[in-house]
Chain A
């Protein structure tokens, strides 16, 4: 089955700097890669996703890149703000039947933005 590795496990940046979180996946059939932000005790919330037919996607200060050959994808947050502090999870799923397999999550990255 799918295995998703995520690095780093913790990341501290100064406010205004950029943050990069990287994930690798094992199943070359995977075609959907969402990123979730989870604040303490709350639900994971989708912040951006990318599908295998594109290499990069951007939404304001957040961007995700995908390298299918190397089987890795990355989250980039620019101009970080204290409210970006949270745990970020990458995930992957593969096509199966009329939809996709359940999401497999990485171990998470605890991002701390220092004011």
Chain B
């Protein structure tokens, strides 16, 4: 079965550079979530999209932005990268129109800022 696909799997950037993370949700899933997980920490919710519209906003820095495209894939754009942005970034997708359905996570993108 198709899963949530994230790319790239690993990314190394220097401070003040920009990065773009991509997420391809499971087909027919209408909601995409982005989470940031620092070392030894729980996943922190950043932002979500429902039917290509921003739905919820969590602890996403102003330096970050995201969008969902017509084909439902989503991109997280990160600018002016800081050392503290080094983390695992997970995308998850679900079917919101069916309440209480589980969120499936992608394999994540490991971002290292040096």
A interface vs B, CB < 8 Å? 31-32, 34, 36, 41-46, 49, 51, 89, 95, 97-108
Bound Cα distance from A54 to B7, whole angstroms: 38
Q: Is the CB of A43 within 8 A of B100?
A: no
Q: Is the CB of B48 within 8 A of A107?
A: no
Extra pairs beyond A89-B43, A107-B41 (4, CB < 8 Å): A99-B50, A99-B97, A99-B98, A101-B56
Out of B42, B99, B100, B110, which one reaches A107, CB within 8 Å? B42
Q: Cβ of B64 < 8 Å from any Cβ of A?
A: no
Q: Cβ of B25 < 8 Å from any Cβ of A?
A: no
Q: B50-82 interface mask toward A, CB cutoff 8 Å, 1 = contact, 0 = none? A: 100000101000000000000000000000000
Given the contacts A44-B90, A51-B100, A89-B43, A102 and B56 also touching, CB distance less than 8 Å: yes
Name the distance in Å between A5's Cβ and chain B's nearest Cβ.
11
Residues of B within 8 Å of A49, CB to CB, are 100, 102
Residues of A within 8 Å of B99, CB to CB, are 32, 95, 98-100
Bound Cα distance from A89 to B90, whole angstroms: 15
Q: Is the CB of B96 within 8 A of A43?
A: no
Out of B88, B96, B103, which one reaches A103, CB within 8 Å? B103
Given the contacts A43-B90, A44-B90, A108-B42, A99 and B105 also touching, CB distance less than 8 Å: no
Those of B92-114 within 8 Å (CB) of chain A? 94-108, 110
